[in-house]
Structure 1
Amino acid sequence: MTTITAHWRKQLRNTSRPAYLLLADLIADDIKTGRLGVRDRLPTLRDLATELELNYTTVARGYAEARKRGLIDSRAGTGTFIRSGSPSLRLRGGSGAEMTMNMPPEPDDEHLMARLHDSASRAFAQIDFHDLLRYQDFGGTAHDRAAGMHWLRRFVPDAGIDRILVCPGIHGVLTALFSQLARPGELVCVESLTYPGVKAIAAQLGVQLHALQMDDDGPIADAFEHACKTLKPKALYCNPTLLNPTAATVSRARREALADVALRYAVPIIEDDAYGMLPRQTPASLATLAPGLTYYVSGFSKCFGAGLRSAYVCSPTVVQSQRLAGAMRATTVMASPITNALTTLWVEDGTAEEMLQAVRAESVARQALAVRYLGDSGLQAHPEGFHAWLPLTPGWSPVEFASYLRTQNVGVVASAAFSTDGDPPDAVRICLGGPMSREQCDQALRLIADTLAHPMHPHATLRDGNHGA
C-alpha cells in the first residue's frame, strides 16, 4: 500500500459521505497539493478496491466521477493516469476568500504605496538600463550583496559579503541546495509537517525525505540523532520560525540541541527562515549556533510580497558559496538584475523595513480576528504572523472540511499537503493575507467558525453515530 492510498483509506474510514464522491475529492486534493502529478499512474480498480477495503463498483464509480471532473484518464491496456492539465479546484465564480496561498497581507496604506512608486520611478530614471539588460555573474553585484548583508545582519551577525548570494526566490535556493547536497535516492531530514514546496523539490530530484517527529519545542533532537546514526542523512532542512504550516517556532534550547547533533555528525543544515523577519523577537538562528554547517536562507516573499522574487542565502564558507552559485547558475542562470536593483534600493532607503512593519501590523490585526472567532477551537498561530493552524473537531476530516469551505467561496489547505510521514493530523492551514481585505478576512473567519460549530450538512463527517440533514 502506498502512502497516498493509506491516507485515502484513513479518510474513507471516518466518513458518512458516499465513498465514491470522497474518492474523487481525495484525488483532486492530492493533485492540488502536489502529492499526485501529471501522468502519475493510479492503482487498478481491483487493486484499489482491495487496498481501500471497498467494493469494486464503488471504486469504479469514484474513478468515473474523477474522469467527469477532468482529473484522470483511463485507457484500456495501459491503466489510469492523472490527466495532463488537470484543473485546480477554483473558488466558485473565481472570487471569494482565497486563504490557501501563504502570502503576506497587502497593507491598505496610500502613503506606503506612493513611496514604492516614487522610489522606483526615481531609481529607474537614473539607472543605465543597458547594465540591467546584460548577463551578470550569479549572486548579484557587490552592491546587491552588500544590501543583502545589511538585511541579514540581525539574524547572521557575522555574514560576510563574500558568503552571500542574491538569488531569484527562496524556492530556487532550496532546489539548488537539495541538488547539491543529496543525490537521487539519498536522504534529507525534515519536519513531519513542512513546506509543500520541499516535498515537490524532493520528488523532482528523487531525494528521499525522512520525517522527524515534533513536539512543542520543534523537531525532536533524539529522532534527528537516531537518523544520523542509522540513515546517514545528507542534510537537515528546517523552517524554524513560524513553521509553515503550524506557525510554531523552534525554541532556543531545541535549536541548540539540533545544532549539537548536526555538528557531531557533520550534517549540513538548510535554515529556511522565510518568516523570520515577521516576529519582533526570535531565538538565535541555527546559522549562529552551527555557523560552519548552516546555509541561512531568507527573502522578501513573506515580508514584502510574493512577486518580489528576491532572496538571500548566506553559506557557511566562501568556497561553499561559490559551489552553490555554480549549482544555481545551472538552473536559473542569474537573478533578474532589474529585480535586484529594486530590492537593493528598497533595502537601502528603508522602504523594505517600512513594508515589513506594515505587513506585521496588518497581520496583528487579522490574527486578533482569528483569535476572536477561532481562539476557542485550538487555533495555533503567532500574533505577528499571517497563517494559522486549525485542528478540526471530531465532526470533520481535513479534506471534507476544505472541500465544503470551497463550496462557500473560502479556500483553506488540508493537512495532507504538509505531511512527510504519511499520517497527517486532522487540521487545516489558513492564510490571513493575500489580496483579500480585512473585512473579507473577518467574514471568512466567521464562516469557518460557524462551519465548525454547525457541521450538520451533507458533507459533514459524523463520527458519533448521529445523522443530520
Structure 2
Amino acid sequence: MSINSFENYPMSWKPKKAAGNERLCVSLVRQLEEDIKTGVLLPGTRLPPQRELADYLDINVSTVSRAFKECTQKGLLSSTVGSGTFVAYDATANLCLLPSPKTRTVIEMGSVFPEAVAYKEITGLIEKMITEPDFGILFQYGPTEGTSWHKDAAVKLIAQAGYQTTPDKLLPTNGGQNAIAVILSGLFHPGDRIGTDPLTYTGIKTVAKMLGIQLIPIRQKNGEMSADGILYACKNENIKGLYIMPDFQNPTTHSMSDSGRQAIGEIAREKKLIVLEDVIYSLLNQTPKNAVASYAPDQTIYIASLSKVFAPGLRLAYMVSPEQYKKDLVTAMYNINLSVSPFLSEIASRMIVSKNADRLIENRRQLTRVRNQLIDEALSGYRVLGSADCIFRWLLLPKGITGNTFESLAQAAGVQVYAAERFAVGNVKPVAAVRLAVGAANSNDELLAGLEIIGDLLKKADRK
C-alpha cells in the first residue's frame, strides 16, 4: 500500500520514511526517541498497530516489530497483550532519585534518606576495632561468599525481619541495589519479563532498562498484587519472575497481607517463578510478618540490606539464595566485581551481635515517629498514606493536578518531592500522588518549613 494513501488517515504517530542510507529500523527507533523526548508523543499515547504502520510506510511489518522491541527494551514503550503498544508513562521521567547539586538550596523531601544521627554505636565500635592488633587484616580482599562468622551474624538479623534461614544460603553484596543488579544479570536475559507493582522502586527500573529486561505491571487488589493478576501475567505476558517489596512498599507505603504473601509463594512454586523479595524496610516494622520466602524458599531470593536501617554509608546487603540459583549468582558477582569489604562486614556483624544494631534501629523508629507526627499534623485533611514507622509517605493529590505538575510546583517553591510518574511501570496511568521522604530534611524545623510550602500548594490546588 502506498504511503500517500494514508495522507488523511487518522493515526497517533506518522513517522517519515527513512531517507538516504539510514536503515529503516534505525530510522524508526530514532524518530520514536526524538518524538517522545520532545513531547510529540506523550506518555500513555497508543501507537498505531504494527501492520498499519508498516502499510503506511510501505515497509515489512518485521521492521516495525524490531523497532518497537528495541524501544520497549529501552523503556520507552510498553505493550500489553490484547491492548496494543503505548508510550510508557515513565518514558521521560528522571529515574535518578538522588539530590542534585543544583538543588542544594531546596528542602530535601524527595530522596529516601534515614534521618541523620550521631551513629555513636558505629563510631564506638570502630574506635575499639582500631586498637586491635589484627585490625589491618580487614583491608584485605575477603571471600566472595563471606566468612562463617559474618554470615552467622546476618542470619540473626534476618530472623528479626521475619525469615528463618541458614548461613549456607547467604551471599553478601554491596547494598540492595547491587543485589538486584546481580540477580538480573545472573538469572535473566535481554527480553525476559519480570512482574512488578504498577508503581515500583526506581532501582529495579534502571537496572532492568540497562539489561534490556521488561517490567510488567501486575493487576492489583487492595493495594497489592492479586493472584489473578499474577496468573494472567504468567499466561499472557510470559513473565519469568516477580519483584516485590512486602513491607512499606516503595513508593506507596503498603505492607502486604499474610494471604497475599502466601498466594505469591504458592504461585511461584506452581509456575516456577523467580521471586525477588526486597525487604529493605522490613526491619523498621516492629511486628514483622512471615516472608514470602517462607512459603516458596526454593523460588525466592531474599534481599536484606542495611543502608536504610543502619546507616546510608554502610553499603551492605545479604541475599538468601536457593541452591539452584547460587552458582549463577556467585558468577555474576565475580563478573561485575562485587566483592564486599571485610571492614564493612565486620562492623555490621559486631553491630548485630552486640545488640547495638537493635538500639540503632529503635532510635531510628523513634525519630521517624516524631517526624511522621509532624507530617500528620501539618497535612491533616489530606490523604497521606504510611504508618508511623515508615521513613517515607505517599501523598494523594487533589483532583485536577498530576504528580509531575505538583513536583514542579514544589521545586519552584523550594521543596523537592518525587511524583508518581517516576515510579510508573508500563502503560498503567499512575495515580496523582507524590512521595515525601520523612528523614531527608536536615532538621525538624526544616521539615516543618517544607510541609508549610506543600500545604500552601495543596490549598491552591483545592481552589482550582
Q: CA deviation at 1:397?
A: 2.0
The amino acid that maps onto 2:363 is A
Structure 1 gaps, min length 5: 1-38, 53-81, 457-461, 465-469
Worse overlay, 280-289 or 391-400: 391-400
The aligned runs of 1:344-363 (5 Å cut-off) are: 344-363=349-368
From the superposition, tell whether residues 49 and 322 of structure 1 become closer, same or farther in structure 2 (CA, over 3 Å).
Answer: closer
Residues 278, 385 of structure 1: 8 Å contact kept: yes
Residues 415, 427 of structure 1: 8 Å contact kept: yes
The aligned runs of 1:420-431 (5 Å cut-off) are: 420-422=425-427, 423-431=429-437
Secondary structure, aligned partner of 1:104: coil
Secondary structure, aligned partner of 2:301: strand
Given the alignment of the two structures, is residue 95 of structure 1 paired with residue 105 of structure 2, yes or no? yes
TM-score computed with the length of structure 1 as normaliser: 0.76
Residues 407, 416 of structure 2: 8 Å contact kept: yes
Q: Give the equivalent residue in structure 2 for 1:75.
A: none
Residues 166, 312 of structure 1: 8 Å contact kept: yes
The aligned runs of 1:241-260 (5 Å cut-off) are: 241-260=247-266
Separation in structure 2 between the aligned mates of residue 225 and residue 405 of structure 1, nearest angstrom: 40
Per-residue CA deviations over 1:197-238 (Å, capped at 9, x if unaligned) read 110000000001111122325111101011112333211110
Separation in structure 2 between the aligned mates of residue 46 and residue 395 of structure 1, nearest angstrom: 24
Worse overlay, 362-371 or 199-208: 362-371
Q: Give the equivalent residue in structure 1 for 2:203.
A: 197
Separation in structure 2 between the aligned mates of residue 130 and residue 40 of structure 1, nearest angstrom: 56
Separation in structure 1 between the aligned mates of residue 176 and residue 103 of structure 2, nearest angstrom: 32
Given the alignment of the two structures, is residue 163 of structure 1 paired with residue 169 of structure 2, yes or no? yes
Separation in structure 1 between the aligned mates of residue 164 and residue 401 of structure 2, nearest angstrom: 48
From the superposition, tell whether residues 435 and 370 of structure 1 become closer, same or farther in structure 2 (CA, over 3 Å).
Answer: closer
Given the alignment of the two structures, is residue 376 of structure 1 paired with residue 376 of structure 2, yes or no? no
Q: CA deviation at 1:92?
A: 6.8
Q: Percent identity?
A: 24
From the superposition, tell whether residues 44 and 410 of structure 1 become closer, same or farther in structure 2 (CA, over 3 Å).
Answer: closer
Per-residue CA deviations over 1:284-318 (Å, capped at 9, x if unaligned) read 1101111121111111111122211011111123x
Separation in structure 2 between the aligned mates of residue 95 and residue 444 of structure 1, nearest angstrom: 12
The aligned runs of 1:85-124 (5 Å cut-off) are: 90=100, 94-107=104-117, 113-124=119-130
Residues 182, 332 of structure 2: 8 Å contact kept: yes
Alignment length, in residue pairs?
383
Q: Give the equivalent residue in structure 1 for 2:10.
A: none
Residues 366, 386 of structure 1: 8 Å contact kept: no
Q: Give the equivalent residue in structure 2 for 1:402.
A: 407
Separation in structure 1 between the aligned mates of residue 185 and residue 288 of structure 2, nearest angstrom: 29
Q: CA deviation at 1:279?
A: 1.3
Q: Give the equivalent residue in structure 2 for 1:230.
A: 236
Residues 195, 243 of structure 2: 8 Å contact kept: yes
Q: Give the equivalent residue in structure 1 for 2:322.
A: 316
Task: Give me the CA root mean square deviation.
Answer: 2.7
Separation in structure 2 between the aligned mates of residue 117 and residue 376 of structure 1, nearest angstrom: 42
Worse overlay, 233-242 or 391-400: 391-400
Q: Give the equivalent residue in structure 2 for 1:445.
A: 451
Q: Give the equivalent residue in structure 2 for 1:303.
A: 309
Separation in structure 2 between the aligned mates of residue 45 and residue 243 of structure 1, nearest angstrom: 29
Residues 104, 305 of structure 1: 8 Å contact kept: yes
Q: Give the equivalent residue in structure 1 for 2:398.
A: 393
Q: CA deviation at 1:118?
A: 2.0
Separation in structure 1 between the aligned mates of residue 348 and residue 371 of structure 2, nearest angstrom: 27
Q: Give the equivalent residue in structure 1 for 2:331.
A: 326
Residues 173, 338 of structure 2: 8 Å contact kept: no
Residues 155, 167 of structure 2: 8 Å contact kept: yes
The amino acid that maps onto 2:114 is P
Per-residue CA deviations over 1:124-182 (Å, capped at 9, x if unaligned) read 22152442232222122111111111111234543111101121100111111112222
The amino acid that maps onto 1:43 is E
Worse overlay, 123-132 or 146-155: 123-132
Given the alignment of the two structures, is residue 433 of structure 1 paired with residue 443 of structure 2, yes or no? no
Separation in structure 1 between the aligned mates of residue 101 and residue 458 of structure 2, nearest angstrom: 20
The aligned runs of 1:199-218 (5 Å cut-off) are: 199-218=205-224
The amino acid that maps onto 1:231 is E
Residues 315, 321 of structure 1: 8 Å contact kept: yes
Q: CA deviation at 1:275?
A: 0.6
Q: CA deviation at 1:42?
A: 3.9
The amino acid that maps onto 2:235 is K
Residues 263, 293 of structure 1: 8 Å contact kept: yes
From the superposition, tell whether residues 451 and 160 of structure 1 become closer, same or farther in structure 2 (CA, over 3 Å).
Answer: same
Q: Give the equivalent residue in structure 2 for 1:467.
A: none
Secondary structure, aligned partner of 1:332: coil
Separation in structure 2 between the aligned mates of residue 204 and residue 335 of structure 1, nearest angstrom: 23
Separation in structure 1 between the aligned mates of residue 351 and residue 133 of structure 2, nearest angstrom: 15
Separation in structure 2 between the aligned mates of residue 427 and residue 440 of structure 1, nearest angstrom: 22
From the superposition, tell whether residues 264 and 89 of structure 1 become closer, same or farther in structure 2 (CA, over 3 Å).
Answer: closer
Separation in structure 2 between the aligned mates of residue 93 and residue 196 of structure 1, nearest angstrom: 20
TM-score computed with the length of structure 2 as normaliser: 0.77
